[in-house]
Structure 1
Amino acid sequence: MTLPPHAVHQRYQYRKAISTRPYNARGKNLERCEACLLAQRYCTCDTRAQLQSEVSFLLVMYDDEVLKPSNSGRLIADLIPDTHAYIWDRTRTNRKLMALLESSEYQPYLVFPSEYAMPSQAVVPDVALKTRLASETKRPLFVLLDGSWREAIKMFNKSEYLHHLPMLSFAPDAAARYGLRKGSRDFQLGTAEVASLVLSAAAEPKNAASLSAWFSLFIESSLYSRSRKSPKDLAPLDSLKAAFLKTLK
């Protein structure tokens, strides 16, 4: 069964529609699936499934991030039903985004390194999140700044509405503890990897495992899409599809 388009799909279509010129990503001549942006031959859309989750996500995406085939933020929306996405604007704040942050239904948390917290900004360590959520009556809404690290810092610094949100911050050893890849700095993870950390900290380890497996499948499919692997041997791809489906049981 084909699942309906999600928030990131909608932002992608919008951003592409207003572009004055084609987005020339690597592999621009490749025939891609419009949903997952992988090569049509390695499309994973027929494997996608929605999870049952008690948490929500909000992706604040840097301008053309949504157009990038390498963007992993879309993977969160692939699996977590209540995922929202908006394109960041330095001078104009999206009214729907603000309404979401101010909604009585949600308790937003900005997921960001604590070293960048404003003086009056509350910081919630990852180890304390489960206890905090247990006392909350509102649904947690985890805000992720989706872009390069430089772009994420810019979005945070230029968006005062983020400065009063409680900040969920992971300890430097969190990536190693959850077995995820690390960048050149401990907190430089892909957006989907950060979401996996959030799900684990929010006491949804099964969903975290599903998202992590979905991310692994995405990476492998991307390698095939970019001709980094021989199309004659699809066993690694099939194995990762099976591993993802196993997490759903």
Structure 2
Amino acid sequence: MRQCCSDCGYPLKTCLCQDIAAVNNQAEIIILQHPKEASHAKNTVRLLTHSLAKIKIYVGKSAIDFSSLQELLRSQPLNTVVLYPSPNSQVLNITEARKTKIERVIFIDGSWKQAYGMWKNNEWLNRFPFYKLALPNAGQYAIRKSKLDISLSTLEAVAYSLNTIEQLDTKPLLQLLTSFTRRWQSFVQRSKDKQ
């Protein structure tokens, strides 16, 4: 049985502890995570939980799965937005972020198909403003592929959003993603070499 690091949870051979740096975000990050994504070995939300000061993850697909979150949002009202490229999403930029004074950001974590289904099955999200990122380049997460040019890992989307909302230095998050990607590619290469 493979031994895992008691701190980061990754196998000892690919332990990421030396690459994890604390990121003291002020805006609360909420992740709605598809159940299949939660168990995916290459999901990046797990990396975020080791770095961010304020993050909560809710696993599910439908509104009933997120009933505890909906209650939290009602009982603790903060200026909340959803980061998802719906047809009505506005581009998130520094000017808009300052004007809106965003305190909480909800992200949908899953494949494009899974995320779209979650958005459609959770109409309660539509009571919040929707934003999307305007990025000139595709994501850097090379170990998972997408046919869409605008694809980002959830970690990248969170990092770019926090950089825009708080002008927070999120390089530690992106460096953690780079380290994770290199270790994964190295693991895959070693497996190929053994065949």
**Shared fold per TM-score greater than 0.5:** yes
* Residue among 84, 104, 108 paired with 1:112: 84
Are 1:92 and 2:51 matched, yes or no?
no
Aligned to 2:189: 228
Cα 1:103–1:160 change in 2 (3 A) is same
Secondary structure in 2 matching 1:217 = helix
For 1:186 and 1:193, locate their aligned partners in 2 and report how far apart those are by CA, in whole Å.
14
Instruction: Please state how far the C-alpha of 1:59 moved relative to its aligned partner.
Output: 0.7
| 1:46-195 alignment, distance < 5 Å | 46-90=18-62, 92-115=64-87, 117=88, 123-127=89-93, 130-136=94-100, 140-171=103-134, 174-176=135-137, 180-181=139-140, 183-195=146-158
| 8 Å CA contact retained: 1:100, 1:106 | no
For 1:229 and 1:205, locate their aligned partners in 2 and report how far apart those are by CA, in whole Å.
37
The one-letter code matched in structure 2 to 1:66 is: A
For 1:114 and 1:217, locate their aligned partners in 2 and report how far apart those are by CA, in whole Å.
31
Runs of 4+ in 1 over 6 A off after TM superposition: none
Cα 1:91–1:162 change in 2 (3 A) is closer
| 8 Å CA contact retained: 2:21, 2:172 | no
Q: Identity of aligned pairs, percent?
A: 19
Instruction: Please state how far the C-alpha of 1:165 moved relative to its aligned partner.
Output: 1.5
For 2:99 and 2:75, locate their aligned partners in 1 and report how far apart those are by CA, in whole Å.
18
Secondary structure in 2 matching 1:228 = helix
Gaps of 5+ in 2: none
For 2:118 and 2:100, locate their aligned partners in 1 and report how far apart those are by CA, in whole Å.
27
C-alpha RMSD of matched pairs (Å): 2.6
Instruction: Please state how far the C-alpha of 1:153 moved relative to its aligned partner.
Output: 0.4
Structure 1, residues 130-182: CA drift from partner, whole Å, max 9, x if none? 23333456x521111111111000000011111221111123xx052xx7438
Aligned to 1:14: none
For 2:140 and 2:41, locate their aligned partners in 1 and report how far apart those are by CA, in whole Å.
19
| 8 Å CA contact retained: 2:23, 2:53 | yes
The one-letter code matched in structure 1 to 2:174 is: S
For 2:127 and 2:66, locate their aligned partners in 1 and report how far apart those are by CA, in whole Å.
17
Structure 1, residues 8-38: CA drift from partner, whole Å, max 9, x if none? xxxxxxxxxxxxxxxxxxxxx7544466453
Cα 1:135–1:96 change in 2 (3 A) is same
Gaps of 5+ in 1: 1-28, 118-122, 231-249
Query: Greater Rg, structure 1 or structure 2?
Result: 1
Structure 1, residues 53-97: CA drift from partner, whole Å, max 9, x if none? 222211101113222210011222221111000111426243331
For 1:84 and 1:58, locate their aligned partners in 2 and report how far apart those are by CA, in whole Å.
5
Higher RCO structure (Cα 8 Å, ≥6 apart): 2
With normalisation by structure 1, the TM-score equals: 0.65
